[in-house]
Chain A
Amino acid sequence: MAHVRLEKVTKKFGSHTALSKLDLEIRNSEFFVLLGPTGAGKTTTLRLIAGLESPNGGTISIDGTDVLNWSAAERDVALVFQYYSLYPHYTVRQNLEFPLKSKVRRMSQQEIDARIAKAAKTLRIEHLLERKTDRLSGGEMQRVSIGRAIVREPRVFLMDEPLSNLDAKLRELLRAELKDLQMKLGATFLYVTHDQVEAMSMGDKVGVLNQGRIIQVGTPQQIYNQPHDTFVATFVGSPAMNLMQANVAGGRAVVVPGKLEIPVDGAGGGRALRVSGAVTLGVRSEDIVVGANGTVVARVHGVENQGVEKVVTLRVDECLLKATVPARLELGIDTSVRFSFKQEKLQFFDAGSGINLFYGEEGKNG
């Protein structure tokens, strides 16, 4: 259990800046997910905290103590990787024992057995303890890898895309298990992933990282409902948030003149009335309502059945918008439909910088 703080951390590899003045705070017993695309600097951040890399600037502290001069072993953090780092010819029990047998620890066999029994029970791998690890399935191997971290009772768990090599079903199962585990242990987790579903479903807090910079930190709901900019807006959520280039004047946004014009006088709790000129409008697929009462006419460009619902791509001239509709709605490709927007759910971004025009204002009156 621990509190981790990074302040103005910069890391360069040659001329390439991997992280730039990164501030990050992970509270005690928090499940913190660092989310970002490939190359964002997620793994570098993890390795810096673990002590496998040293920063070019800034400080890293654990429980208020600067740990920059501490070795990886002294920091007492546990890393779990995407690839299971297990000894193939040993049993699960031997693999779990290994990190405890270090001479530094001087742990009694009784204590070792107790810790292994506890970890095995938590992870439901008790029946596998005497099996060799090369006889395990992918999900079992990843559970054992996590077990190797648990037995050490580290101050912080660092996880680098631990589920990305597993198939979809197993990933879903282990997602819930990991979250459950973290709650049971009351441990501090820093979890790195490029998968927004993992981030949303597991994180108490999500930090969105892009090109070595933290863009936004918040609860999954904040990240989803109040994205800082168009990057976060389109990176989180599936289908991605629809973005439209629009011109706003007199409480109306014009996307396609005469064909796609949206009243915005009630949007953003009335704040949209302040807006005029070129903006990027954002709307999530579930905030588009397809039905006979819609004010906009579109052609059906595509229909994707997703079982519980359908995702329809609507086309107005060159503007393509994705809408979520109930599964029972039958829509033929290239037929004509009507739709409208839930006005209060529209998001406004600066047409140039992509930054949310009302960022930080939500929650204040309206």
Chain B
Amino acid sequence: MADIVLRDVEKYFGDNYIIRKLNLEIRHREFVVLLGPSGCGKTTTLRAIAGLEEIDTGDILIDGKPVQAMQAADRDIAFVFQLFALYPHLTAYENIAFPLRATNESRETVDRRVREAAKSLRIEHLLDKRPGALSGGDLQRVAIGRALVRRPKALLMDEPIGALDAKLREEMRTELKRLHIENEATTVYVTHDQVEAMSMADRIAIMNDGVLQQVGTPTEVYQHPENLFVAQFIGSPIMNVVNGAVRPGGGDTQLILGDNDAQLSFPQKLYPLIVEKKHAEDELAIGVRPEGVLVARQQTPGYVPVEAHIIEPLGPFDIVDLKFGAQMLRARTSSGYVARAGDVVWAKLDEAQTHFFSTRSGESLHIRL
């Protein structure tokens, strides 16, 4: 059990930085997910914690002790890869027991720990099987069992369920999370899949181009993204982002989408809030998730007429493309609410779910209505 601290960690290949000034604290027993697109530096970060990759500057501390000088084997960390590196000629039991064979543990202790690990992974009935006879999900369970049996201070996982099919991934997400709660091992988990990150993490650390973008709970990063990258990386369907401007109105603030494509009435306090931030009133990127675009079939005060374009029926709900002039915004409606493409409906943006970013920096202006 351990806390892991990364302090000003940097890593270069020639002139290219892989990780830039990374500061991250992973608390004792926490489940932290490193999330980002391929090439963002998340795997390099994980490998640096494991001691499989040297860093150029900064410190990595485990339980308060710098570990750069330590060999990977001495860091007392277990690593689970996407590809289940198991010994094909050994049974599941022997694969799990393998890391303990090198220690001086008694036969009884080894047996007890293997069975404990197998029980929490629900693979007790598979212990006599060889890897060749196991399914993908079971193989990964055995690989995780082998990592857990050592009772490492921390468990590091690199896309451990990335190679499994969609249904099995869904199942394994819940299981891995339960396993974490039972084992209480500090866990760092790398993935490019935001659904995995949202559904498993205590906190998510989002990276892009080697730079940490935001660290927060799933709810925080979903509801209060710090910048446009996070806003559009988290959540599916993607958050709508439209360039726009604000103008003071009589009794309200006029929110203008695009090149005067639509004017929406927002609370009066919005305009002074933006002026207060010394931010240019026409350099706004306006973000709103599909569930923040409210749709009505009848004319409703505060709503503007829009034309429905493509309707994607996803089962429990529909995603409807709405034309606010030349700007297309996607809305989430109940199934069948908008009957067909070409229909005119009424829409507004839910002010509590509307985000304001700077078009220059991409950073959030931290305005909450």
> Which residues of A does B touch, CB under 8 Å?
167-169, 172-173, 175-176, 179-180, 183, 197, 200-202, 219-221, 224, 234, 236-240, 284-286, 301-302, 304-308, 311, 313, 324, 327, 333
Contact = CB atoms under 8 A, between A and B. Distances in A.
A172 B178 CA distance: 31
B195 interface: yes
B312 A221 contact: no
Interface stretch (B47-55, B106-114, B233-241): B233-241
Interface string B211-241: 0000000110010000000001111111000
A200 B315 contact: yes
24 contacts: A168-B193, A169-B233, A172-B236, A172-B237, A200-B314, A202-B312, A219-B313, A220-B315, A221-B335, A234-B167, A236-B315, A284-B315, A301-B174, A301-B178, A302-B173, A302-B175, A304-B173, A304-B200, A305-B218, A307-B198, A307-B218, A307-B222, A307-B235, A307-B289
Contact of A306 (B37, B38, B195): B195
A180 B310 contact: yes
Nearest to B170: A239
Contacts of A176: 310, 312, 321
B314 A201 contact: yes
Closest 9 CB pairs of A and B: A304-B199, A302-B174, A201-B312, A307-B222, A305-B218, A286-B316, A224-B315, A220-B313, A305-B198
A308 B316 contact: no
Contact of A221 (B167, B193, B313): B313
B331 to A, nearest CB: 12
A236 B198 CA distance: 22
Residue with the greatest number of chain A CB neighbours at <10 A, chosen from B200, B232, B236: B236
A264 B345 CA distance: 38
B166 interface: yes
Interface string B176-200: 0110010000000000111100111
Given A180-B309, A238-B170, A301-B174, A306 B198 contact: yes
A224 B315 CA distance: 6
A266 B218 CA distance: 39
Contact of B291 (A167, A236, A308): A308
Contact of B167 (A201, A219, A240, A307): A240
Given A173-B238, A304-B200, 19 more contacts: A169-B232, A179-B310, A179-B312, A180-B310, A200-B314, A202-B312, A220-B313, A236-B315, A240-B170, A302-B178, A304-B198, A305-B199, A305-B222, A306-B195, A307-B222, A308-B289, A308-B332, A313-B174, A333-B181
B326 interface: no
B319 interface: yes
Contacts of B133: none
B341 interface: yes
Contacts of B248: none
Nearest to B332: A308
B174 A237 contact: no
A240 B170 CA distance: 9
B162 interface: no
B311 to A, nearest CB: 9
Contacts of B173: 302, 304
Contacts of A239: 170
Contacts of B238: 169, 172-173
A335 to B, nearest CB: 12
Contacts of B199: 304-306, 311
A301 B167 CA distance: 17
Contacts of B181: 333
Contacts of A220: 313, 315
Residue with the greatest number of chain B CB neighbours at <10 A, chosen from A172, A220, A307, A313: A307
Contact of B314 (A179, A197, A284, A301): A197
Nearest to B321: A176
Residue with the greatest number of chain A CB neighbours at <10 A, chosen from B166, B173, B233, B336: B166
Contacts of B312: 175-176, 179, 200-202
Contact of A324 (B38, B170, B195, B316): B316
A272 B16 CA distance: 66
Residue with the greatest number of chain B CB neighbours at <10 A, chosen from A176, A224, A284, A327: A176
Contacts of B235: 307-308
Contacts of B178: 301-302, 333
Contacts of A201: 312-314, 319
Nearest to A286: B316
A134 to B, nearest CB: 18
Nearest to B223: A307
Contacts of A221: 313, 335-336
Residue with the greatest number of chain A CB neighbours at <10 A, chosen from B173, B309, B314, B332: B314
A172 B232 CA distance: 12
Nearest to A224: B315
Contacts of B336: 221
Interface in B233-290: 233-238, 289
A284 B314 CA distance: 13
A301 B179 CA distance: 11
Contacts of B218: 305, 307
Residue with the greatest number of chain A CB neighbours at <10 A, chosen from B167, B232, B289: B167
B219 A327 contact: yes
Interface in B319-369: 319, 321, 332, 335-336, 341
Contacts of A307: 198, 218, 222, 234-235, 289
Interface in B12-67: 37-38
Residue with the greatest number of chain A CB neighbours at <10 A, chosen from B173, B174, B341: B174
Contacts of B236: 168, 172
A300 to B, nearest CB: 11
Nearest to B197: A305
A221 B238 CA distance: 23
A168 B194 contact: yes
A201 B335 CA distance: 12
Interface string B194-210: 11001110000000000
A82 to B, nearest CB: 17
B314 A305 contact: no
